[in-house]
Amino acid sequence: MWADFHRPQDLGPILANATSVELVALPFAGIEPYVPLIRQRSDLLWTCARGVYARPVAEHAIALATAGLRHIVGYAQERRWAEPHGRMLVDGSLTVFGGGGITAEIIRLLQGWNCAITVVRRSATPMPGASRTVQPDLAVEAVAGADAVILALALTDETRGSIDSAIFDAMAPHAWLVNVARGGVVDHEALHQALVEGSIGGAALDVTDPEPLPEGHWLWGLQNVVITPHIANTPEMGIPLLAAHIEENVRRWIADQPLAGVVDPVAGY
């Protein structure tokens, strides 16, 4: 798993002894374990892989959404010829939390599906290709009527636990929650209640809290939940993308040009 390489405790001593280092390129899009070190070493220029893995993660998010809406999750657990279920995402409504590369790629991949796509992001700047873009204070309104709600936002102090009971209460009873962001953005107690009561259609989770999800956790036992083990972007998919990203940034660094994926120490991503 990519998560096995998250060892910020090892990086600090290395940087302390590497006095000539000016640039640190983290190979992760989500860098929350490194934020304390980044803020401590603000003398360095830090970059991350923000947006680098957008295409495979966006594809996975759409696959999870359609698997839920098409009842493939339920059919996979059947041992008999079942009754027909399912809804199309084509001509449907989708709400995406986050305004970064993954969201941009989801919008691009869904061109031709005739989806009404609402984006919830920190900035009021319209997201190209989206039907509408709103800020987090309109999040509850934004999920109402959506067939699927995809989470692709960064985990920060502001977003932690922000997908809460108010969001779930506003979602349609058939709607599926898809999380390809971080498990910590979801209030899991509120999610448990929504899933058990059936107030939402289900949850398709590539990330959880805690992670890895331990055996016997309540999420494993629910029929309206599908869990993939943080593999929306595998090493086989991601390494070529990361290599191209680093190569381009090194070229820019040498040419004294702006780098891609520069980390904002204050924002934490």
Choice among 50, 87, 188, 230 that is catalytic: 230
Residue 267 lies in a domain: no
Q: Which pTM value belongs to this model?
A: 0.88
Angle between helix axes 101-109 and 54-69 (nearest 10 degrees) is 60
Is residue 211 flagged as an active site residue?
yes
What CA–CA distance (Å, rounded) separates 97 from 240?
27
CA distance 53 to 100: 11
Task: Decide if 181 is inside a domain.
Answer: yes
Do residue 42 and residue 62 come from a single domain? Answer: no
Residue 81: give its domain's CATH number.
3.40.50.720
Answer yes or no: are the C-beta atoms of 128 and 101 closer than 8 Å.
no
Same domain, 70 and 44: no
Q: Is 188 in the active site?
A: no
State both tokens at 245: 């990203």
pLDDT per position in the chain (269 positions), as tens? 344 456 788 899 999 998 899 999 999 988 888 999 999 999 999 999 988 999 999 999 999 999 999 999 999 988 999 999 999 999 999 999 999 999 999 999 999 999 999 999 999 899 999 999 999 999 999 999 999 999 999 999 999 999 999 999 999 999 999 999 999 999 999 999 999 999 999 999 999 999 999 999 999 989 999 999 999 999 999 999 999 999 999 999 999 999 999 999 988 88
Residues 96 and 208 in one domain: yes
| Active-site residue, selected from the candidate residues 71, 121, 182, 245 | 182
Per-residue pLDDT, 5: 52
Q: Are residues 89 and 205 in the same domain?
A: yes
- Catalytic residue among 211, 217, 247, 252, which? 211
Which H or E run contains 103? Answer: helix 101-109
- Residue 261 in domain: no
Beta bridge partners of 118: 95, 132
Active site residue 230: yes
Range of the domain at 96: 54-227
167 and 187, same domain (yes or no): yes
Residue appearing with tokens 């860098």: 31
Q: Are residues 76 and 189 in the same domain?
A: yes
Are both 141 and 204 inside the same structural domain?
yes
